Homo-oligomer: A and B are copies of this chain.
């Protein structure tokens, strides 16, 4: 029942086809909700039956027909009710972190590679988010946008996604630096056992804790 509300929320930004939603769930929505296209198609069918959305088929030349879904009054009401209910705590599933937890019993080089890949993926994602942000702002400052824009929900969730990916990138760099330092220490130990590296980072690179 929770995917349902994520879909309803996505549809407040305009009508969409299942395919459109799949893209959105891959891009912006991915910050806070994951779903595969199959889940979306199945859920949209159920939502149709429940009267939360209506569908119209749009005939396209040169493209397969598509079904565009719109919120109904019932759908809008269901969404309103949802904002009233206590949200469940966040659920995260991150295999990379499981691998890092098990790093020492596993294949360190493989994990390092996975972290490098995550770093690259996060950088790509962050760039896309920044573009979306520029697009929303249309040249205005954040302050002016937030003060004057009618609807700021999407901007606020995007802002969370931006800091999330920024921190992912930092963390990946922090881990890679730490592992590299341990490697070179081990190399040094083998040739020059008296040597140790100078201290390097404190609490994950300038993380501004204790500021609040």
**Interface of A toward B, CB cutoff 8 Å:** 2, 5-6, 8-10, 12, 30-34, 76, 79-80, 82-84, 86-107, 110-111, 114, 117-118, 121, 141-144, 146-147, 150-154, 156-157, 159-160, 162-164, 166-167, 169-171, 173-175, 178, 181-182, 185, 196-197, 199-204, 206-209, 212
Known: A34-B92, A92-B34, A147-B196. Is A103-B178 also a contact (CB below 8 A)? Answer: no
A93 touches B143 (CB 8 A): no
Measured between alpha carbons, how far is A201 from B145 in the docked complex, in Å?
Answer: 11
Contact residues in B for A84 (Cβ distance below 8 Å): 106-107, 110
By Cβ-Cβ distance, the 3 closest A-B pairs, closest first, are A83-B106, A32-B97, A87-B95
16 contacts between A and B (CB under 8 A): A8-B102, A12-B105, A31-B92, A32-B93, A84-B110, A87-B98, A88-B95, A90-B92, A90-B93, A141-B199, A143-B202, A146-B201, A147-B196, A159-B171, A159-B204, A163-B204
